[in-house]
Structure formats: C-alpha cells, structure tokens
Structure 1
Amino acid sequence: METTSTDWRYTVMPAVFTWLKESESGALEIDLEVTQKYAADILKVQGKGGTRMGGLVGSGTLGENSYLSSEQRISLLKGLSDVAKEFNVPLISGAAAETKEEIAEIVKGLASAGVDTVMVMPPKTKELPSDEDMYAYYELAESAARAAGVTIMPYNNPDAAGYHEISTELLLKIAELPNVTALKISTIDVSIIETMMLANKDAKILAGVDTVTVHAGLAGACGGITGVGCIFPKASVTMQEYVSAGNWAEANKISQAMNSISYLDAQPLLLEYLKFAFGVHHNDAEGGLRTLGKKLTQEQIDDVRARYVLAKERLEVLGLAE
C-alpha cells in the first residue's frame, strides 16, 4: 500500500495545525519550527500494518487558513514543503476564489510555495453558478495546475457550502480532467460517494469527515483527510489499513473508540476544538488554546477534554493511543 503523489489509493492524510506563539508585542504569530516538528512527528507514525500517512495537508481549516495573510500562508507552506519532501509525501493545500482567473493565479502561487496538489473549493460567488460556469472554473484551475507542474483536488463540501454544492454529475465530469488527482467529499451522507463510484468505479475519492471513515470506505472512498488523526495518528492509519483490506469489524472497533472526539471534526468550531484536544494530548493545553479563531468557553473546554479522555481510554485498550 505504498503511496506516491500520483497514486492516493488506500491512504489517509493529516490536516495539520498551525502552531502559534506570542510575539514580543503580545500578538500571535506562526511558530514554524514547532509546526514543522509536530507535522514530522505525525508522518513518522506507523499503523499496525506498517503504513504511514500518505500526504500532508497544510494551511487548511485546521491550519488557521481563514485568519492568515497571503504572506503568512506562503511562508507556512514553504516550511511544510520541507517536511513533506523529507517523508516523500505530497503537500496539499486549499484554495477558493470568486472567479476562474483568480483561482488560476492562486494555484500558480501555491505551486511556487511547494504545494503538490491544490484542493479547489467551489467559487465564492453570491449566486449559484451554472454548471457551465462551475466547470469552466475547475477547467481553468486544472489547466493552471498542469502548467505549474502540480495537480488539483476538487473539494465538495455540501454540508458547509450550501448552494455551492457541486452536483455528482458535474463532479464526475470534473474528475475526468487530466490533472485531477482525487476528489475530496466532506459530508456525512456517504451515499454521494457510492453514487459516484457506481458511475465510475475508477474514481478516487477522499472522505473529509472523521466520523464516516469506515462508511465512506464501504461506499468506495479510497482514503481520507483527517483532523483527529493529528491527535491519534496510529489509530487513524491503522483504521485506514483495515478499511483498505476490507476488515470492517476491526476498522469499526477503532471508529467506535474515536467516536467521542471524531464528533468534533464535524462541528463549526472544529479548528478550536481539535487544536485544544491536540494541546491536551501533548501536555500543552495552553498552547492548544492559542488560535486566531474563536475563544472557547470553559464549558466547551471541559467538553472537549472529556471527549479526548474518553477516546484515549478506549484507544489504550486497542493499543492505539499514541
């Protein structure tokens, strides 16, 4: 099950956190050294079957993307590119724009920062684009990526994107563009994945929500992008090993053990929740609370901590809590 940047079957990839520190002025700034260390630590971990994470996702939702400037983001990705190269895995990062011309320029910029694959969100327009306009948007993004020597991953998030959901028919058409590596589908309704796999058994689809890893695999997904896997990488990789082997009973044991914390990956405050849980896991709860996002209430902090403890206890029984 060796993974390369052009063959992402049977793999899971961590959407890593961007670690922050206080500057002399008291403002939060990126701690690139710590971010790189934690990313490398995750990529070092092996599952029970001997495989590792198959890629590295940086500056995504969990990476404070919404709050970073373009300059900060490029600097961060260049640093993470070094880590991805060290472990011979592709670096992935997301992009969204209002126009096809704008997305093409963003793709070029990310390629120059060392990104191997760009997750392309639907256009950020106020009104729903026609299928023709949506396809043209992805077509130009793919063309720009090809010219820059990288690939794209169309990213459909029907639960969050609202009227910008991409239809299954259009996704299948977009998937046929030559430089599309895979499709990322973030939804708890895995019937979307199954519908697409029935139409094209060769489609490569990555699940984007931790709660449905096993069900997405049953529906035909070849892997996933994980947030909880940053906290419990051995469990996440081992679960994917079982899913890829069709060992659903063992995969489901791990999924059930992580249910309490995987739930957080599907919440609006997933960045704040999972980053705090990561901090608790590394005895750095204070650092885990450093985010450019929203400040958690004490009630939320207590809930996340309880969910983390429950998942850890269950995974310890399976020998997967590291």
Structure 2
Amino acid sequence: MGTNSADWRYTVMPAVFTWLKASASGALEIDFDATKDYAAGILKVQGKGGTRMGGLVGSGTLGENSYLSNQQRLSLLSALSEVAKEYNVPLISGAAAETKEELATIVKELAAVGVDTVMVMPPKTQQTPSDEEMYDYYALSAAVAKEVGVTIMPYNNPDAAGYHALSTELLNKLAALPEVTALKISTTDVSVIETLMLENKEAKILAGVDTVTVHAGLAGACGGITGVGCIFPKASVTMQEYVNEGNWAEANKISQAMNSISYLDAQPLLLEYLKFAFGIHHNDVEGGLRTLGKALTQQQIDDVRARYILAKERLSELGLAE
C-alpha cells in the first residue's frame, strides 16, 4: 500500500474482537479460526450503497490487546493478515512504547507478521515529552516503517487517561511525513479535527469514537475506526456512505439510532461492554465471546442489554439491524 494513499479516504474500519476458547487446562486462549471467520464476516457486509469496510484493525483495545502476551498478539495478527489479504484491505494494529528505540522494534515485529499500517500511540512516559521529543519519536517510527515497507498512523487520544495529547502543530508536522497515511483522532471534541483541516485541507483524518462519526465528517474527517460497527456493520458502513455523500440528514438518522450503544465506545470499559453486546447479538454471551477483561456487575449488564435492544429496535426500522 502506498504512503499517503487516497485509498484511506471515505472509509470505515472495524476494530475487531478476539475470539477466546477454553484450553485443556481451563485457561482462556485465542480461537484463531473463529476470530478469522468473524473478521471475514464483517468484511463481507455491504452498506446500502454497496461499499464495504475499508480496512481491518486487529489486537486493539477491543481485541484484548492489554491482556495478551507479545507472542499471542503477533500470532493473532498473523492470522488476521490472512483475512485482510483475502479481502484486499490493509491490516492495522497499534504500537506503544516508552522509548523510540522500543517503538522501532515493535514496528518491525508488526511488519513481519503482515501488519500494513501501525497506529503509533504517544510514548508511554510519566513526564510529558516536548513537541521536539515527540516528533523524534514519531519520525524514527516513520523511518523504520519505510525500511520495512509499512506505513504509520499517529494516534491522538486526548480524552483517555494516561495518553499524552498531541498538539495540532505537531499533528500537522506528522501528517507531512511521507510514511504517514492518516491521523487517528479519538476524541468527542471534533473541533480538534476541524482545526487540523482548516490548517491542512489535504490531511487524512480518521475519527476514533463512534458517537461523533457524523460530526467528525462535518469537521472534515475522511472516515473512522469503529467498535459498534463490529455489531452493526451494515449500519456503520451505510452511515459512512451518507457522510461521504454529504447526506447529513440520513447519516444522522443512523447515528441517532445507534446512539444508545455508540455511547459505550467512549467508556473506559468499552471492551467489556461492546463484547457483551455482541454476545447478545449472536446469542453467545458465554461462548466464544468470553473476555479476559473485567467482570461486569449486574447493573452494567442490564444497562448494556437495554442499550443494545434500543439500538437494534431503531436500526430495524431503518433496515440496518442485520
């Protein structure tokens, strides 16, 4: 995939879950076949306009990333790479490190198992780096990406605790790197996206929070990475089609229909919430959708169930619940 490719425009990509199964010892392990089948199923889905998901995001927050060992993660991505190649879409996965040298190693490892684009998180340091230090961190990842034949996607998540926010000035500098194919902006404050687009109309920005898909599109985002789209892919793809057309009224109908469940994508327990909702969707709450994450309270379970039911009812009226 070429750097700064126009293929990244006007698309939505699912951040897929990881299927788990009980091993002989009773411990949970990755069910690679089920995970691949599930990812392929999402990539097959078409929106009302005939388009499909434009990429595949693996081993992210929704993919149990923080609970997997490095070897498990690389094996998972290798398996998902087969699916991405079959459907001719890029495989994306994230990288975070304390130092730029550690980051360089991770980029090489991800490239070796078939990842096409690395979402690069800010350095995991307690002290906030200067813009110069931050730029050096990303610049080295870009140089290594070029060396191993992949691209990078700087990931700004200013709403999440523990992540250093990237300034708009720095983001614009990073967007100019030839190895940067897009910027991922995960925030409910879409003015960040609008500010970037006002300064650089050619910037490619992917929104990272489902609740703001339409507003992000209005602000200039060219697509997004979705969690709720793993549950309702037809609705997610169709909404992006309407955003691409500038048909804001129809896009907003879908956004409003999904709002009760999209809300969960912006919560700290998004993995546990959305995976449980997906389990309800497939009548498999206790099966392959078990999680390594935190156990939900009964109150949380009831809340997720109610939000899922409401979203499904509203999407059914629009013919988008499958």
Instruction: Provide TM-score, normalisation by structure 1.
Output: 0.97
Query: Aligned AA for 1:249?
Result: A
Name 1:231's counterpart in structure 2: 231
| In 2, Cα distance between equivalents of 1:180 and 1:288 | 35
Name 2:256's counterpart in structure 1: 256
Name 1:155's counterpart in structure 2: 155
Say yes or no: does 1:94 pair with 2:77: no
Stretch of structure 1 that moved more, 254-263 or 292-301: 292-301
Query: Aligned AA for 1:264?
Result: L
Q: Call closer, same or farther: CA 1:105–1:59 in 2, change over 3 Å.
A: same
Say yes or no: does 1:311 pair with 2:311: yes
Say yes or no: does 1:268 pair with 2:259: no
Whether the aligned pair in 2 keeps the contact of 1:5 and 1:90 (CA below 8 Å) is no
Q: Summarize deviations over 1:46-82 as a string: whole Å, max 9, x none.
A: 0000000000000000000001001000100000000
Name 1:129's counterpart in structure 2: 129
Name 2:240's counterpart in structure 1: 240
Name 1:115's counterpart in structure 2: 115
| In 1, Cα distance between equivalents of 2:116 and 2:133 | 25
| In 2, Cα distance between equivalents of 1:202 and 1:5 | 12
Which runs of no fewer than 5 residues in structure 2 stay unpaired? Answer: none
Name 2:221's counterpart in structure 1: 221
| In 1, Cα distance between equivalents of 2:259 and 2:214 | 12
Offset at 1:163? 6.3
Name 1:29's counterpart in structure 2: 29
Q: Secondary structure at the match of 1:178?
A: coil
| In 2, Cα distance between equivalents of 1:6 and 1:114 | 21
Whether the aligned pair in 2 keeps the contact of 1:276 and 1:288 (CA below 8 Å) is no
Superposition RMSD in Å? 1.1
Offset at 1:285? 1.1
Identity %: 83
Query: Aligned AA for 1:66?
Result: S
Offset at 1:31? 0.5
Q: Summarize deviations over 1:253-312 as a string: whole Å, max 9, x none.
A: 000000000000000000000001111111101136611110111111111111101000
Offset at 1:162? 5.2
Name 1:17's counterpart in structure 2: 17
| In 2, Cα distance between equivalents of 1:287 and 1:307 | 21
Give the aligned length: 319
Whether the aligned pair in 2 keeps the contact of 1:278 and 1:288 (CA below 8 Å) is no
| In 2, Cα distance between equivalents of 1:268 and 1:154 | 21
| In 1, Cα distance between equivalents of 2:184 and 2:299 | 33
Whether the aligned pair in 2 keeps the contact of 1:128 and 1:163 (CA below 8 Å) is no
Q: Call closer, same or farther: CA 1:158–1:288 in 2, change over 3 Å.
A: farther
1:30-179 alignment to 2 at 5 Å?
30-161=30-161, 164-179=164-179
Name 2:283's counterpart in structure 1: 283
Q: Call closer, same or farther: CA 1:163–1:306 in 2, change over 3 Å.
A: closer
Instruction: Provide TM-score, normalisation by structure 2.
Output: 0.97
Which runs of no fewer than 5 residues in structure 1 stay unpaired? Answer: none
Name 1:7's counterpart in structure 2: 7
Offset at 1:24? 1.3
| In 1, Cα distance between equivalents of 2:291 and 2:313 | 27
Query: Aligned AA for 1:287?
Result: G
